[in-house]
Structure 1
């Protein structure tokens, strides 16, 4: 079937069956490529959170109080999800000088201008 260049009306059911088999094989191959999704998130306490983000306990408490760090409170204890902390660290990544240059250049090219200062006549 795969070597034939044209499909006639008589061979259409056979061609559809062949394509269906190929799609099933492709789905299997793609599902094998995906990393297994870890649906079970790891819940950690403040000591582990301090170790992951390399901050002191007081700094972590301050960041949570300001709403900057994702946390969950049950009773008097704070809990964190490890994947959320890692995402928080990644979101705070500093830009490289090349990225900053591209951003400045884009702003200049977009025509952003400052408002003129108001004149005061005395």
Structure 2
């Protein structure tokens, strides 16, 4: 739908207003979907917890035990996405078939 950009909102019909809102929300949704993170992205504690699907307190616990790779700047804790992915992959368990056939890598 093409609506004149100089036209005041109050002059739109209900149908035009609804269509305009749909277009706006659609473009916002597309913008959010385009914010996919590069592999070298730096994440804070909240983002890392969401990424790992863990509670924030669990992430802090793993940090205090030096299990999770992280770095600090001042009092703030940060993570690299690629390091978290690598950490997750190191915890992979092999199937019996992979072990019997020898199709696995030792750490």
TM-score between the two structures when normalised by the length of structure 2: 0.53
**What's the counterpart of residue 51 of structure 1?**
50
Shift of 1:44: 0.8
Q: Is it true that 1:84 corresponds to 2:83 in the alignment?
A: yes
The CA distance in 2 between the partners of 1:101 and 1:41, in whole Å, is 36
* Aligned-residue CA RMSD (Å): 2.0
Matches for 1:16-27 after TM superposition, within 5 Å: none
The CA distance in 2 between the partners of 1:72 and 1:41, in whole Å, is 14
The CA distance in 2 between the partners of 1:52 and 1:86, in whole Å, is 10
TM-score between the two structures when normalised by the length of structure 1: 0.47
The CA distance in 1 between the partners of 2:96 and 2:65, in whole Å, is 29
Structure of greater Rg: 1
Shift of 1:47: 0.9
The CA distance in 2 between the partners of 1:95 and 1:84, in whole Å, is 21
**What's the counterpart of residue 61 of structure 1?**
60
Shift of 1:99: 2.8
Aligned length: 65
Structure 1 unaligned residues grouped into runs of 5+ = 1-37, 104-122
The CA distance in 2 between the partners of 1:65 and 1:48, in whole Å, is 18
